[in-house]
Amino acid sequence: MLLGSSRIATCVAVATMLMSGCGAPVELKYTSRVDLQQLPAKHQQQIQASLEDYFGTARFPKFLAVAPAEEQPADAPQPKLIEREDRGHLQHGQAVYLNQCAGCHGVTGDGQGPAAKYLDPPPRDYRLGKFKFTSTPRGVKPRRTDLQRVLRRGAKGTSMPSFPWMTEDDLEAVIDYVMLLSSRGELEYRLGQVAQADLTEEDDVVPAIVAEQAQGIALSWDEAEQQIVRPLTREITPSEETIAAGAKAFVQLNCYKCHGHDGRGIKTGNIGKDDWGRVARAADLTTGTLHGGGRPIDIYRRIYSGINGTPMPAFAQPDANKGETETQRSDTIWHLSHFVNSVANGQPLPMDVIDAEIREQLKAQPVEPAAAPSE
């Protein structure tokens, strides 16, 4: 990937800072969410104690889960927990993470490592349990292969590097540790939401509440492995005709209202924010830096599922008002992926097709009646 001079300068500055240790060793401690400070002190303490029960501390990490119902003792004051991952394996993953990832993603996985302030886009905050680029439907956790792929290949157009040289043992261990950080952060977030919405100051964050939330998070990771977006139709061979059809779909599905009629992305107006509270500008497709991957299937899945945690919606459902079928929608997504790929690869946009389709769309809009004159 070719980088502009400003990005090269940023990368050099960050690399220099990291090699010098940022002036001080990173404190090996999980930090709490800022929004938990709004809760009563008792609830904060109970949430932190629960997080230690399930995930240990940064010095002694563990990854526990609620045991199956048949293994639960009757009338126990709190549920039985079992090891989800071997602790030695987690320590291995943590060592890889601290060496390769924490400088950007932070010890807690909050995206606040010492290099983060120098990076745009910023490093991912895992703690909401949301990952942008997956092979799964919208709102579903990534499959393990999704995490393997982003580590092996990086994220083009961002500061997320690739690790093709990483051993399989290191790769699998660091993935499990990232899953620990994400699960821990999501449990912290969920418990904070429950405490704020449902509990009075006199109530306790009891083990049953914690177990219910922890089970839901663990189940969402397990179920993701069986959920993968598989196109209903085979990919059509790209051609001028499919690219032109994709350009029409770019207008018909209103993609141009965020990405711009020229594909460069709208930079002003009510752009919206992502779930991390950051301004969520639509991608400039002409730069060729498709963060989620440039393969046709990658682009298909981005269009089909949208992008988790962002205003980018899913386009999986056919337009019932037009009598569109699921197979027709699948073909439309393939056409649109060909259009996006052609733009990303530097081919001229078929502006005549786009502008003509926009004019047709404007003609089809109902004209509002003029307001009656005031007396």
Q: What's the confidence (pLDDT) of residue 313?
A: 96
Chosen domain end from 224, 250, 268 = 224
**Residue 235 resides in a domain:** no
**Domain count for the chain:** 2
Alpha carbon of 92 to those of 24, 65, 97, 144, 161: distances in Å? 23, 20, 9, 18, 21
Q: What is the pLDDT of residue 268?
A: 83
DSSP 109: S
pLDDT given at position 87:
97
**Structure tokens that stand for 221 in this block:** 């990771």
pLDDT digits (tens, 9 = 90+) for 315-348: 999 999 999 999 999 999 999 999 999 999 999 9
Portion of the chain with pLDDT greater than 90, in percent: 77
* Whether residues 310 and 340 fall in one domain: yes
Q: What is the mean pLDDT of residues 232-251?
A: 95
Q: What confidence tier does 373 reach under pLDDT thresholds 50, 70, 90?
A: low
Residue 329: domain span: 240-363
pLDDT tens digits for 261-313? 999 999 887 888 999 999 998 999 999 889 898 999 999 999 999 999 999 99
CA-based nearest residue to 188, from 308, 42, 68, 55: 55
294 domain-assigned: yes
Does residue 213 sit in the same domain as residue 266? no
Q: What is the pLDDT of residue 11?
A: 43
Residues 217 and 297 in one domain: no
Domain-embedded: residue 373? no
Judge whether 205 lies within some domain.
yes
Considering the domain architecture, whether residues 353 and 316 belong to the same structural domain is answered as yes
Average pLDDT over residues 3-12: 39
Whichever domain contains 273, its CATH number is: 1.10.760.10
pLDDT number for residue 25: 53
Same domain, 210 and 93: yes
> Which pLDDT tens digit goes with each residue over 139-178?
999 999 999 999 999 998 888 999 999 999 999 999 999 9
pTM for the model: 0.88
> Is the peptide bond preceding residue 161 cis, with omega within 30 degrees of 0?
no
Mean pLDDT of the chain: 90
Q: Which DSSP string do the residues of 5-16 spell out, in sequence order?
A: HHHHHHHHHHHH
The CA distances from residue 24 to 15, 114, 339, in Å, are 15, 10, 48
Q: Of all residues in the chain, what percent carry a pLDDT higher than 70? A: 90
Q: What is the pLDDT of residues 75-111, one digit of tens each?
A: 888 899 999 999 999 999 999 999 999 999 999 999 9
Do 316 and 201 fall within a single domain? Answer: no
Decide if 1 is inside a domain: no
In a domain, 280, yes or no: yes
Q: Is residue 324 located within the same domain as residue 189?
A: no
Do 152 and 249 belong to one domain?
no
Q: Is residue 374 part of a domain?
A: no
Residue 363 has pLDDT above 90, yes or no: no
Can you tell me the distance from the alpha carbon of 302 to that of 340, in angstroms, rounded to the nearest whole number?
A: 11
pLDDT for 14 beyond 60? no
Q: DSSP class of residue 73? A: P
User: According to the model, what pLDDT value does residue 361 have?
Assistant: 84
Q: Domain end: 175, 196, 224, which one?
A: 224
Per 3-state DSSP, the chain is made up of helix, strand and coil in percentages (nearest 5) of 50, 5, 45
Cβ-in-10-Å burial (0-12, 13-18, 19+) of 362 comes to: exposed
Same domain as 159, residue 251:
no
Is residue 195 domain-resident?
yes
**Same domain as 277, residue 207:** no
The domain boundary, picked from 194, 224, 254, lies at 224
Q: Which residues contact 350 (CB under 8 A, 6 or more apart)?
A: 243, 244, 247
Specify the pLDDT at position 13: 41
Predicted pLDDT at 368: 60
Same domain assignment for residues 294 and 346: yes
| pLDDT on residue 15 | 46
Amino acid at 83: E
- 244 shares its domain with 212: no
180-197 residue pLDDT tens: 999 999 999 999 999 999
Which pLDDT score, from 0 to 100, does residue 156 have? 85
